[in-house]
Structure formats: C-alpha cells, structure tokens
Structure 1
C-alpha cells in the first residue's frame, strides 16, 4: 500500500507498507512483529500532540512539514484494529471532521 499526502502544495507524508509472502521481513520485529493490524493518523494542526510513545506499539512523530499548521504522524500496531484504534482514537478528540 502506498500513501502520499500533500498539504499546501508540499508532500508532508509518503509511506509504503508491503505485507505477506511477497514482502520479505514484513513480520520481523522491525515491521509488524507479532501484530496483525496497523494504523496511521496524520494530523496537521496548530496544536499538535507532543511527540513520543503512546503506549506499547504506538508513537507520535513530528513531520518536517512546511505550510500552515504543524504536522505529526501517529502510528500504531496491535493484535487487531480494536487495539490500534484504542491507541489512535484519543488523538482525534476535538479535531473537526474534514469538509465533504
């Protein structure tokens, strides 16, 4: 899976995740380890959460974005999506929904 996010004409995030038999090492400790679910949350806001660990298998990292607001990337891995959402969902409290 390839993801590219652009904000104000600048690429702020580019990511590739490959899993399964065609992706050597995907289940190594450096990628997913024993986790079977992964999630990513990208926030561009004037009040980003502080970088650092969110708990086991999850962290917030600052991105070198230019433009309005500051960008942070939160990533989590877990046994299932429930565990991943439990790590990432609290970061969305108070964040307005995107415009349709």
Structure 2
C-alpha cells in the first residue's frame, strides 16, 4: 500500500467528459495534484494526490494508497476511487 512519489503536477482544468463522468463547474473547480507513485516492484501508478499544495510535495516522499469518495451516481450510490496520501513521520498521512 506504500510507495514513493516518482513525479507530480497540478490538474488545473476540469477533466473532459467522456471519459470522465464527474460534472464539475469550471467556475468553482479547484485544481488538484496528480502524480505517479512507484512501488517496490518498480510498477508506477498514476492517480490523484490528496495534498493539493505543491509546496508540501517532494519527489521521493513516501505515499500511501487510500480509498476516497469520488462522486455520487444518479441512484445515490457513492462511487469510490483510490488516491495517494503523503505519509507523515508519525504514520499514515
């Protein structure tokens, strides 16, 4: 469940639909961090990073995979996704 931040950037625009089904208003959109995390077997996985302040992210820092709410579908079901969270010195991010 843990790896190291290989690289990252900030998603500064609303992702297009399709393929993304998240309906966000460009006027209220909040940019977020995305990056690649490298795991022990050298696999690199791209995903959203829960820390949005790029000043608090450094390449090589330890990250943990977490499950977070993404959206609610038309039936009221909460859709979950994975994301990466920085690991703090005292434990999980």
Q: Which structure is higher in helix share? A: 1
TM-score, normalisation: structure 1:
0.27
TM-score, normalisation: structure 2:
0.28
Q: Which structure is higher in strand share? A: 2
